[in-house]
């Protein structure tokens, strides 16, 4: 079947060998040449015409002027792309009742969010493609936009996808214990409504993709800024009907992802489709405006929550109702239900109460899609829980740190199953709390706070106990039908030079993966770290695995490297023993040398061992076959997740005249199991804290009621800057997991999980003498002044 059959294109060169005279050009975007301009380069660029409306019917598209522009190679609509790419649906079977409509790379009949791609223009340069976009004319019928989550669920609301019946994508109810009885018997009940506004990843490197289809071999090669090469290999194979073995995805060093680069995006799928249609490389790089309107957003939640407390401060029950807006589709292939699911399951997690009720509604709306982002759901659960804990402490007259000490799970309860079904192997919150109290000198901060209040200076101290989900096992995605593996693999070999080559399935996103893998491999084999070469991010050259997401790289990929390294080490010892006429157990490997296990005396270098094995195997004893490579996989077994835990404290000062918040200090004590590289862990935590502070104070995607994104530039969308950040003090408690030899848990999201909650509590603590309280994030100066103004008006 001709993939461009829907497009009239005379004298097509597609799929043929094309002569290259001195001066030629493409006209009408259809492959016809004339003789006044050079022919375009083999690699061409695509730009997308995107919907200017949040919801609109596409009545007609006039492409003639764009196709006639010199340098344009192809202009394609959604219907054209649909001839080579099948649609996808972002559901998983273990989220019972989750629904979503089929999604195409480009909108076909309707656009359902501002920025949805409608037309693709391929040209010799990105600038030419954008010039052609300006020549396209589309007739729209603007339709009612559903942007508010309550309005989306109201009777008679416009239904975004009529085939689905309504705008409710998913709902969940969890209940454990006698919740109503606990609230009825409570000494005090505290409650609040919390609003968490959308923000987005703002990665240093935007989404990029270069797709190259070779029709002669039916082979597709994609260079892409993705976290998960093997996931995308599967997606491309299935939706473009190419054998998986013929699809190669390369994802080298990526300039930041934070979960945003886990998902399938229509513009990226269209780029691959265009390469198949054109039989040549096609490149797409999202600009910053496209990133704001097309990258997934996050944290769009409205939570109503209550907490019951006894007179002695014991928390007896918690009830939450979370409604989250996810845009017009559930993201593929991981769905947009995961964030809300994790939020309601993590609520109240660190505390010992058994009565809990949680309800969740996941709602379609005409905004950009919302899905997984760093610390998925954790900041929501932590902020709601910790804010209510502070309110409960005030209600019974107990200091905030003592309130937590009385209610945190004690060390003797583990393994412990939470009211929502999570199983905690071992947490260390009491040790973390004690360490944090010392680290920030909590008593001194409280004394200083009181002194300054008398002088009209309003400072606050906020605490946030957190749990971080890391290293998901097979029951996370695979059980729901997603082709997303929980295991990671490693292939390790000794090169002729004596260097160790490590090919591993985890990917490098700027978090230091390759350094950690080299460190583990060097230790496991017994060679200097500089003799280790790590290869990541290529489905053609690395073993199959889950790659980088959910703080799993070191805990799962590192375990695979450790196991593989120990196997290779034993192989080298067996070979050395044969050469030296010794027993393997009498030898060891240290710093690249085969040594005597008892006295450390050098017997043979690993480099010499490699030379003999590769180039003089004829000198080996009869029957000895040198084994210089090992391959192993690791999948977490025995637990669904490895839970990291800790506590954070924020120290702030609020200017009640301007509403500005000054960050004076931030402390984190966390437990991620065995620390492999303490410096990298500390900086991961600091980076996570900064992102959490961004969500707490600065970052917000502001929409109009009509679904227009009003601040889609870095001039209007605020991100945390270095000069605004406090000193972030990080320390650790170490509780290795017993489910792996390495003992490591994840650490990549701990900072983000609790930072916003700590800042929220600190700001509310600062404003407590004035009677003001905030429950909407980010805590902008306007919101702070509004809260103060409401108190002033009430007092008049």
Sign, CA torsion 613/617/620/626: positive
Residue pointed to by tokens 């003999």: 612
Contact assessment for residue 248 and residue 540, using Cβ atoms and an 8 Å cutoff = yes
Residues contacting residue 242 through CB under 8 Å, at least 6 positions apart: 218, 219, 220, 236
* Band of residue 639 on the pLDDT scale cut at 50, 70, 90: confident
- For residue 26, the model assigns a pLDDT of 31
- For residue 212, the model assigns a pLDDT of 98
- For residue 71, the model assigns a pLDDT of 96
297-474+638-787 shares the fold of 5-31+487-634:
yes
Lowest mean pLDDT segment, chosen from 6-15, 599-608, 662-671, 723-732: 6-15
Mean pLDDT value of segment 95-99: 97
Residues contacting residue 388 through CB under 8 Å, at least 6 positions apart: 190, 191, 192, 305, 306, 307, 318
Say yes or no to pLDDT of 25 above 50: no
Per residue in 479-531, pLDDT (tens digit) is 999 999 999 999 999 999 999 999 999 999 988 999 999 999 999 999 999 99
Q: What CATH architecture is 5-31+487-634?
A: 2-Layer Sandwich (3.30)
DSSP-assigned letter for residue 375: S
Say yes or no to pLDDT of 27 above 90: no
CB-CB neighbours of 613 under 10 Å = 23
Contact assessment for residue 225 and residue 253, using Cβ atoms and an 8 Å cutoff = no
The domain ranges of the chain are 5-31+487-634, 34-143+202-294, 297-474+638-787
Among 3.40.50.720, 3.40.50.620, 3.90.1170.50, 3.20.20.70, what is the CATH number of 34-143+202-294?
A: 3.90.1170.50
How would you classify the pairing of strands 532-535 and 416-417? unpaired
Say yes or no to pLDDT of 7 above 60: no
Give alpha helix (H) positions in 669-749. 678-693
- For residue 39, the model assigns a pLDDT of 61
Q: What whole-number distance in Å separates Cα of residue 236 and Cα of residue 216? A: 18
Q: What are the DSSP calls for 181-248, one per residue?
A: HHHHT-SEEEEEEEEE--EE---SSPPEEEEEEETTTTEEEEEE--S-HHHHHHHHHHHTT--GGGEE
- For residue 638, the model assigns a pLDDT of 78
Q: What whole-number distance in Å separates Cα of residue 596 and Cα of residue 606? A: 13
Q: What whole-number distance in Å separates Cα of residue 764 and Cα of residue 779? A: 10
Q: What whole-number distance in Å separates Cα of residue 652 and Cα of residue 665? A: 7
Residues contacting residue 337 through CB under 8 Å, at least 6 positions apart: 92, 95, 98, 169, 170, 326, 330, 362
Residue pointed to by tokens 């270098």: 605
Contact assessment for residue 532 and residue 522, using Cβ atoms and an 8 Å cutoff = yes
Asked if the peptide bond before residue 778 counts as cis, ω within 30 degrees of 0, the response is yes
Rg of the Cα atoms in the chain: 29
CATH code reported for the domain at 297-474+638-787: 3.30.365.10
DSSP-assigned letter for residue 158: P
Q: What whole-number distance in Å separates Cα of residue 410 and Cα of residue 572? A: 46
- For residue 6, the model assigns a pLDDT of 30
Proportion of the chain in helix, strand, coil states, percent, rounded to 5: 30, 25, 40
- For residue 791, the model assigns a pLDDT of 66
Q: What are the DSSP calls for 524-562, one per residue?
A: HHT--GGGEEEE-SBTTTS-----S-TT-IIIIIHHHHH
Sign, CA torsion 418/422/424/427: negative
Distance, CA of 756 to chain centre: 17
């Amino acid at each position: 079947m001709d993939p461009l059959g829907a497009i009239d294109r005379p004298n097509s060169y597609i799929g043929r060998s094309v002569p290259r005279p001195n001066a030629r050009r493409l006209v009408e975007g259809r492959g016809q040449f004339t003789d006044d301009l050079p022919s375009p380069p083999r690699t061409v660029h695509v730009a997308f015409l995107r919907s200017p409306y949040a919801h609109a019917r596409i009545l007609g598209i006039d492409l003639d002027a764009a196709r006639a522009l010199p340098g344009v190679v192809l202009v394609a609509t959604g219907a054209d792309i649909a001839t080579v790419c099948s649609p996808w649906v972002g559901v998983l079977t273990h989220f019972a009742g989750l629904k979503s409509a089929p999604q195409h790379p480009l909108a076909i009949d309707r656009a359902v969010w501002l920025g949805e791609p409608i037309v693709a223009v391929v040209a010799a340069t990105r600038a030419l493609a954008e010039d052609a976009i300006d020549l396209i004319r589309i007739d729209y019928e603007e339709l009612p936009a559903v942007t508010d989550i309550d309005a989306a669920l109201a009777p008679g609301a416009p239904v975004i996808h009529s085939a689905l019946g309504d705008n409710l994508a998913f709902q969940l109810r969890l209940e454990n214990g006698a919740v109503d009885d606990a609230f009825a018997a409570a000494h005090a009940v505290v409650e609040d409504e919390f609003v968490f506004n959308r923000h987005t990843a703002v990665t240093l490197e935007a989404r990029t993709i270069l797709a190259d289809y070779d029709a002669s071999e039916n082979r597709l090669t994609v260079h892409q800024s993705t976290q998960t090469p093997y996931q995308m290999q599967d997606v491309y194979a299935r939706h473009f009907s190419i054998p998986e073995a013929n699809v190669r995805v390369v994802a080298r060093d990526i300039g930041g992802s934070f979960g945003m680069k886990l998902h399938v995006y229509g513009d990226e799928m269209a780029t691959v489709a265009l390469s198949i249609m054109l039989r040549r490389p096609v490149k797409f790089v999202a600009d910053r405006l496209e990133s704001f309107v097309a990258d997934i957003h996050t944290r769009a939640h409205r939570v109503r929550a209550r907490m019951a407390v006894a007179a002695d401060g014991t928390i007896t029950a918690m009830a939450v109702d979370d409604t989250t807006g996810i845009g017009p589709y559930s993201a593929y292939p991981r769905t947009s239900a995961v964030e809300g699911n994790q939020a309601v399951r993590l609520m109240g997690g660190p505390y010992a109460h058994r009565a809990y009720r949680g309800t969740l509604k996941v709602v379609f709306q005409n905004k950009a899609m919302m899905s997984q982002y760093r610390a998925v759901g954790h900041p929501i659960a932590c902020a709601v829980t910790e804010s209510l804990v502070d309110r409960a402490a005030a209600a019974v007259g107990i200091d905030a740190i003592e309130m937590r000490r009385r209610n945190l799970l004690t060390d003797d309860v583990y393994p412990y199953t939470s009211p929502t079904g999570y199983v905690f192997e071992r947490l260390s919150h009491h040790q973390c709390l004690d360490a944090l109290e010392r680290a920030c000198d909590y008593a001194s901060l409280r004394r200083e706070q009181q002194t300054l209040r008398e002088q009209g200076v309003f400072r606050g101290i906020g605490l946030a106990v957190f749990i971080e989900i890391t290293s998901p096992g097979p029951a996370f995605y695979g059980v729901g039908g997603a082709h997303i593996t929980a295991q990671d693999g490693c292939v390790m070999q000794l090169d002729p030079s004596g260097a160790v080559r490590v090919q591993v399935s985890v990917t490098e996103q700027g978090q230091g993966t390759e350094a950690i893998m080299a460190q583990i491999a060097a230790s496991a084999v017994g060679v200097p770290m500089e003799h280790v070469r790590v290869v990541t991010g290529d489905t053609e050259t690395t073993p199959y695995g889950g790659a980088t997401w959910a703080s799993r790289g070191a805990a799962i990929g590192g375990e695979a490297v450790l196991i593989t390294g120990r196997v290779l080490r034993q192989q080298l010892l067996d070979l050395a023993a044969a050469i030296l006429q010794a027993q393997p157990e009498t030898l060891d490997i240290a710093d690249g040398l085969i040594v005597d296990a008892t006295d450390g005396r050098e017997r043979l270098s690993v480099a010499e061992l490699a030379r003999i094995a590769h180039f003089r195997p004829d000198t080996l004893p009869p029957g000895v076959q040198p084994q210089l490579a090992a391959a192993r996989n690791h999948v977490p077994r025995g637990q669904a997740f490895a839970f990291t835990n800790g506590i954070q404290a924020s120290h702030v000062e609020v200017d009640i005249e301007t509403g500005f918040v000054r960050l004076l200090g931030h402390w984190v004590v966390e437990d991620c199991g065995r620390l492999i590289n303490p410096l990298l862990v500390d900086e991961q935590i600091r980076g996570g804290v900064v992102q959490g502070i961004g969500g707490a104070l600065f970052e917000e995607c502001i929409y109009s009621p009509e679904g227009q994104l009003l601040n889609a530039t870095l001039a209007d969308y605020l991100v945390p800057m270095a000069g605004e950040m406090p000193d972030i003090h990080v320390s650790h408690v170490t509780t290795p997991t017993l489910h792996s030899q390495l003992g490591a848990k994840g650490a990549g999201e701990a900072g983000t999980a609790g930072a916003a909650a700590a800042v929220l509590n600190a700001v509310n603590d600062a404003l407590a003498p004035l009677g003001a309280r905030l429950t909407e994030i980010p805590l902008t100066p306007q919101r702070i002044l509004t809260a103060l103004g409401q108190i002033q008006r009430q007092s008049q």
